Amino acid sequence: MEKLGFERRQRVVLVPFPFQGHITPMLQLGSIFHSKGFSITIAQTKFNSPNPSNYPEFTFLPLSDNLDNYDTSFCNMLNVISFVNTNCEGPFEDYMVQMLGEEDVQGEVACIVYDPIMNFVNVVANKLNLPTIVLKTTPATYMQSQVVMFQLLEEKLIPLPESQLQVSIPQIHPLRFKDLPLPATDKIPQDVLDFTQSYMDIKSSSAIIWNTANTLDHYPLQQLQQHFRVPIFPIGPFHKLAPNLTTSLMEEDNGCLSWLDKQAPNSVIYVSFGSLAIIDENALLEIARGLAKSEQPFLWVVRPSLLNGSNAMDFLPEDFKERTRERGCIVKWVPQRKVLAHPAVGGFFSHCGWNSTLESICEGVPLICMPFFTDQMVIARYMNYVWKVGVELENVLESGIEKGIRTLMVSEEGKVMRKRAFEMKLELEQCINGGGSSYESLDQLVEFIVSLAG
Ligand code: UDP
């Protein structure tokens, strides 16, 4: 990538929300900006901090968060968010004041790019008169579904009866009520609504950067452009612009790559539900039985926190391990981008987190979709119905899982999806290559940031 010739190096401060799916795209964005000539500072909670020595090109500011001994599981996420926002505001303000006092040495602060969950950033930036840009780490179509969900709430159409769940929502067809980010049949608790609303409010930010591409999200991006009225820059998929950056918070088991080397092309189903999803013992056993019955080779990430409260590995039955020893590889955490790029991997049984989804379609790997929460339901629907590269599970019992795997891996329908996934891979490559929409948008974003500082 070509660097812009700044007269004086400008600094961009980045503030990620400290969970894997949010830290990864923020670090990638830092790397992209660095390659464009900016100095990069990452203000990062001590909790879940990446190891700064892996990123010598960045300066890290450790934010005291007091999260030691706090329950940071997904079930307690709203409290974690509130805790982080309360505890990090003071330390962040102190750092920024110091940095502004040292601009002669450190370079001028052009702007702060932050994850909108880290609300406190906006408060500090307003006080110090610094421009901010929001980074969206989920697809635009998810944001659009949130906007429509609030309209439905205002019109008192939610909660609605179970019988309505399969009905599609006209404003965001093909999404159905069951795909909405919050359960449409329940009364949504006020604290959840308040958080969602504040997360959607981009406040006084100057622009939005989106880890997506026009080819995936064109229509929602157009709609949101009218809604937000600030420039939107879809410059993704980020990981293709920062291909050599390691972002894993957990140790990667590289042994699985040698195991993949011994498997036939397109034969392995890769199974992983990201960094946060939690399942119960029954679901774990259904998945194990579905994998066993499918007769397909598999690579399964069973991270220790997958099972609520206990180490998931300990609950896998001995007869399952015995029966699948020859064709199964079970590990705690893998180098996922390398796994998806491996020729042996022919399908991804996934929770449909946005990073995982982008990583999969960028390698032409179709998916089996088992969404858990928030944006994952929206993504799963798009994978299946719009982009046509995902199998929607009929049910999450062993029979549904076995059938889903067979459909994706050995049926004609699966072949068509693999072909379509390969076409999407090419479309995404076009977006980031010279003249493509993400490429152009990134150039415009760089100009925009330079103009903020000027
Ligand atoms: N990931 C990984 N190794 C694993 C499982 C996941 O490196 O064994 C990475 C994956 O490549 C992705 C991230 O963890 O970048 C998960 O983010 P995603 O948005 O897919 O889901 P989340 O964890 O936020 O639910």
- Provide the ipTM: 1.00
Q: Candidates 136, 349, 356: which one to mutate for ligand 1, based on the most atoms within 8 Å of Cβ?
A: 356
Does 404 have pLDDT greater than 90? yes
Query: Is the CB of 242 within 6 Å of ligand 1?
Result: no
CA distance linking residue 285 with residue 320, whole number of Å: 9
pLDDT confidence tier of residue 423, bands split at 50, 70 and 90: very high
CA distance linking residue 446 with residue 6, whole number of Å: 11
Query: Is the CB of 241 within 6 Å of ligand 1?
Result: no
Give distance in angstroms: CA of 274 to centre of ligand 1.
4
Closest CA to 185 of 155, 163, 170, 154: 163
Q: Are strands 232-234 and 268-272 parallel, antiparallel or unpaired?
A: unpaired
pLDDT the model gives residue 8: 54
Q: What string of DSSP letters covers 172-196?
A: GTT-BGGGSSS-TTSPPPHHHHHHH
What are φ and ψ of residue 367, in 5° steps?
Answer: -125, 155
- 133 to 13, 39, 171, 230, 263: CA distances (angstroms): 10, 16, 28, 10, 45
Query: Is the CB of 26 within 6 Å of ligand 1?
Result: no
Query: Which residues, at least 6 apart from 42, have a Cβ–Cβ distance to it below 8 Å?
Result: 13, 14, 15, 16, 26, 27, 30, 55, 58, 59, 60, 61
Q: Candidates 80, 336, 377: which one to mutate for ligand 1, based on the most atoms within 8 Å of Cβ?
A: 336
Does 95 have pLDDT greater than 90? yes
Give distance in angstroms: CA of 21 to centre of ligand 1.
6
What's the whole-number mean pLDDT along residues 29-39?
97
Query: Is the CB of 371 within 6 Å of ligand 1?
Result: no
Q: Which atom of ligand 1 is nearest to the CA of 332?
A: 8
Query: Is the CB of 331 within 6 Å of ligand 1?
Result: no
The whole-model pTM stands at: 0.96
CA distance linking residue 205 with residue 113, whole number of Å: 9
pLDDT confidence tier of residue 2, bands split at 50, 70 and 90: very low
Lowest mean pLDDT of 17-31, 66-80, 87-101, 140-154, name the range: 66-80
CA distance linking residue 249 with residue 275, whole number of Å: 10
Query: Is the CB of 253 within 6 Å of ligand 1?
Result: no
Give distance in angstroms: CA of 253 to centre of ligand 1.
14
Ligand 1, atom 2, residue with closest C-alpha:
336
Q: Using an 8 Å Cβ cutoff, are 259 and 329 in contact? A: yes
Query: Is the CB of 359 within 6 Å of ligand 1?
Result: yes
CA distance linking residue 325 with residue 130, whole number of Å: 57
pLDDT confidence tier of residue 187, bands split at 50, 70 and 90: confident
Query: Is the CB of 211 within 6 Å of ligand 1?
Result: no
CA distance linking residue 79 with residue 77, whole number of Å: 5
Ligand 1, atom 14, residue with closest C-alpha:
274
Query: Is the CB of 355 within 6 Å of ligand 1?
Result: yes
Does 1 have pLDDT greater than 80? no
Query: Is the CB of 48 within 6 Å of ligand 1?
Result: no
Percent of the chain with pLDDT over 70: 98
Q: Which atom of ligand 1 is nearest to the CA of 303?
A: 8
Residue 237, preceding peptide bond in cis (omega within 30° of 0): yes
Query: Is the CB of 367 within 6 Å of ligand 1?
Result: no
pLDDT in tens, 192-231: 888 888 888 886 899 999 999 999 999 999 999 998 989 9
**Strand pairing partners for 272?**
350
CA distance linking residue 126 with residue 136, whole number of Å: 20
Query: Is the CB of 358 within 6 Å of ligand 1?
Result: no
Give distance in angstroms: CA of 273 to centre of ligand 1.
8
Element holding 207 (H helix, E strand): strand 207-210
Q: Candidates 20, 276, 329, 373: which one to mutate for ligand 1, based on the most atoms within 8 Å of Cβ?
A: 20
Give distance in angstroms: CA of 407 to centre of ligand 1.
24
Give distance in angstroms: CA of 118 to centre of ligand 1.
20
**Residue 226 burial by Cβ neighbours in a 10 Å radius (0-12, 13-18, 19+):** exposed
Token pair listed for 167: 């009905």
What are φ and ψ of residue 72, in 5° steps?
Answer: -105, 20
Query: Is the CB of 17 within 6 Å of ligand 1?
Result: no
What's the whole-number mean pLDDT along residues 313-340?
95
Ligand 1, atom 17, residue with closest C-alpha:
21
What's the whole-number mean pLDDT along residues 19-37?
97
What's the whole-number mean pLDDT along residues 13-21?
97
Does 343 have pLDDT greater than 60? yes
CA distance linking residue 135 with residue 133, whole number of Å: 7
pLDDT the model gives residue 219: 94
